[in-house]
Amino acid sequence: MRTATLPLLMGLISTFAQVHAQETGAPSTTPAAPNPTAPSTGPAPAPAPVSPPSGSGAVPPTQEPSPFVFGIRQGLVGESNLFRAPEGSPLERRDRIWSSGVHLGLDKSIGRQHFFFNAEANHNRYNKNEHLNNTDYGVNARWDWETVGRLSGLLTAQQNQSLYRDTINGTISLERNQVRSTSLGVQARLGLVTRWSFEAGATGSENDYRGIDVDERDMRQSSYNAGIRYRQSGALTTRLGVRRSEGRYPVGLGGVPDEFTRDDVDLITNLTPSGASALNTRISLTRERHTAQSARDNKGWTGALGWNWRPTGKLYTDLDLAYDRSVGRADFDSTLTGGESSDARAIQTASLAVTWLATAKVTFVPRVSWAHRKLDNTFVNGVPTATGTDTTVIGGISMTYTPFDALQLICHVNQEKRTVGGDTSVSSGYKATVAGCNAEFAIR
């Protein structure tokens, strides 16, 4: 039954495409729809296709683009090493995953207010490992608000759920472990049109792990921030602020909850020297303290850098660098904090994506990501008896084809490799190839 689903859907889409082309005589333009969410494989996620604008024509000046989108999708992915096991291991297994999903979206301005909503869900069915069948989803909502005075801000909320397939205490798990992350944040700014402005906000987040191997890794945290922003020019702003994060692992070590605090002094800059380039940086002096995992108490520097560059109308580059702790992470001006309930004490990440609009209908996106983690087994024992590192590199390319406004086809192939240093009991190396295609039919 499953093998007939994709051909049937593709046949319907092809028929609709022919009718649409005959009636309109030309395609229109629309933003590309995202790829179905792949199951999580740990701290360095597989590269996802970047979704640049596509199409062959501009929307007529008198016609406002629709703020709504409803789409259905069907995809097939093949994996050479489903459980990310070491080479030669009996756990090194291949499998195919069929995914059927829906996509809902809203992007609308009403007066001074702007509303954004995006929801995607996929039901994933495994050909051989049926016990891993699951539904992943992602919901993201944002309200940018502004009053008639000098007060503005934003309210953000998001929730994501996916498989968690990273090693557990250095051991490969064959179980269906899942993680659901929920975040809610609010930020307000006073001084909208002045050089100086005051900002303050709060956020709360929770990581809920489900599975016999990961139940004890649940984490909850909240964060509060305040700062002053100075606009030197239209191209440069600087923000100096303080941030405090408080959280706990409810189950903790042997049933004893671990509570932690993190204090940051942030220096954030936003530079847009031209319409083709934007540079964001964050440098923070960070102090982290734990009640049960005292070995993870530390003080030092953390930071992040993001650079977007558009050298031509058909070429985009996106570079991101970061060095941070495993709890209380934040990106530039984001109201949301991140955290990884794992064996990582600190993590360095880098990613580079290049988007090439080859034609009005075809887009290529080569991408590479790198993550280096400092690991220990403090989470298990309370004191570190084993330390090590692992480095994960993922490289790949995707191609997006938009034959007409309502249809988008995406194919991708990725190579993953992880190497381990130090004590191999805290992580395991692997190689894997992931390749697949999906189609989305959307009404806008």
pLDDT above 70 covers a percentage of the chain that reads: 81
Distance CA 171, CA 427 (A): 7
The pLDDT confidence band at residue 251, using thresholds 50, 70 and 90, is confident
What does the pLDDT look like over 104-149, one tens digit per residue?
999 999 999 999 999 999 999 999 999 999 999 999 999 999 998 8
Whether residue 313 is predicted with pLDDT greater than 60 in this model: the reply is yes
Q: Where are the domains of the chain?
A: 2-443
Identify the top-confidence range among 26-30, 46-50, 150-154.
Answer: 150-154
Instruction: Using CA atoms of 331, 337, 338, 344 in order, give the dihedral in degrees to the nearest 10.
Output: 90
CATH pick for 2-443 out of 1.10.10, 1.20.120, 2.60.40, 2.40.160:
2.40.160
Distance CA 361, CA 349 (A): 32
pLDDT of residue 381: 66
Give me the half-sphere count of Cα atoms (radius 13 Å) on the Cβ side of residue 323.
Answer: 9
The pLDDT confidence band at residue 54, using thresholds 50, 70 and 90, is very low
Distances (CA, A) of 31 to 56, 105, 147, 310: 12, 12, 30, 17
pTM score, two decimals? 0.81
Which tokens go with 227?
Answer: 């700062």
Q: What is the mean pLDDT of residues 99-104?
A: 97
Distance CA 87, CA 293 (A): 33
pLDDT of residue 336: 63
Distance CA 43, CA 343 (A): 11
pLDDT of residue 48: 40
Q: Which of 245-254, 310-319, 321-330 has the lowest mean pLDDT?
A: 245-254
pLDDT of residue 276: 92
| Contact status, residue 77 vs residue 96, Cβ threshold 8 Å | yes
Whether residue 286 is predicted with pLDDT greater than 50 in this model: the reply is yes
